[in-house]
Amino acid sequence: MTLHKFTTYSNDAKLALSLLSRTPISVEDGAYQRTAKAVWAYGLVGIVWGTLVWAVGLCAVTLNIPDGLAALIALGTGLIFTGALHEDGLADCADGLWGAQEKQRRLEIMKDSQIGSYGTLALVVSVLLRWQLIKELMQAEFAFAGLIVTAVLARAAMPLLMVYLPHARSSGLSHSVGRPQPKHALIGVGIAAIIALAFAGLIGFAALLCTGCAALLCSTIAQRKVSGQTGDILGATEQVSEIFVLMAIVALLP
């Protein structure tokens, strides 16, 4: 690998980290011209998220904090790391997609910063499910591998929707990133698949299949409801994928 390619890939990873987290990382100005090409690195952000959440959970357990509370602290750390970016998308989608009958009105609701009853319920269900599932991972001593696999696969799913669904609106985060080429999204999926198999074997393969199901479900709903994808749709896809993968891993643990 040449130095130029290494620098390009490194900048892509930094760019993905800056887009999907609150990490105060400097990115070269020219790197932002590659936002659509950098989607292959979205899954790598999951490695950082998973490691951070696992480390905080481990520290909490080491301090004799009960597993349930330790899992909640760990999940809360993950929310701080991302700035609840994906959770915000889930809430907006729940409010918009099921809060109106017309496409344009749905998009208007999704863009509104206020949260409604559907969004609140979606957030509560998402946090409760992931909290309990992470607690199960911790008790089974599979937290590190499980969290890495979950976070990597869930983030690698988002570029698939960016490729295969049109933009539902002509503004917003997803539109500003651009529409990536299929090869960049598929490279990201390939990297995520390798990580899942390396960390979890057959359980990782099952998690990969569940990620595909989650992405297909979210893309189908998005196409029917708003005829495309937005940043909120992508965030909701990440959340649904996390839940699907966590449930699969916990169900298949020995």
* pLDDT digits 0-9 by tens, 154-186: 999 999 999 999 998 877 667 777 788 999 999
Range of the domain at 197: 41-252
Nearest by Cα to 78 from 119, 48, 40: 48
Using only C-alpha atoms, what is the Rg of the chain?
Answer: 18
* Domain annotation covers residue 233: yes
In a domain, 91, yes or no: yes
Asked whether residue 223 is assigned to any structural domain, the reply reads yes
Task: Please enumerate in sequence order all residues whose Cβ is within 8 A of that of 237, keeping only pairs 6 or more positions apart, or say none.
Answer: 157, 158, 161, 214, 215, 218, 219
The per-residue pLDDT for 113 is 85
Taking 50 as the pLDDT cut, the residues of the chain under it are: none
Predicted pLDDT at 87: 98
Q: What angle do CA 242, 248, 251 make, to 5 degrees?
A: 135
CA distance 210 to 221: 17
Q: Assess if residue 225 is contained within a domain.
A: yes
CA dihedral 59, 80, 144, 119 (to 10 degrees): 130
Rounded Cα distance between 194 and 48, Å, is 16
- Predicted confidence at residue 30, as pLDDT, reads 63
Q: What pLDDT shows up at residue 31? A: 61
Residue 26 lies in a domain: no
Whether residue 222 is contained in a domain is answered as yes
Cα–Cα distance measured from residue 176 to residue 160, given in angstroms and rounded to the nearest whole number: 16
The pLDDT of residue 102: 92
12 in a domain, yes or no? no
Residue-level pLDDT at 92: 96
Assigned domain for 175 exists? yes
The whole-number pLDDT of residue 179 equals 84
Write down the pLDDT at residue 7. Answer: 83
Q: How many residues does the chain have?
A: 254
Q: Please tell me the total count of domains within the chain.
A: 1
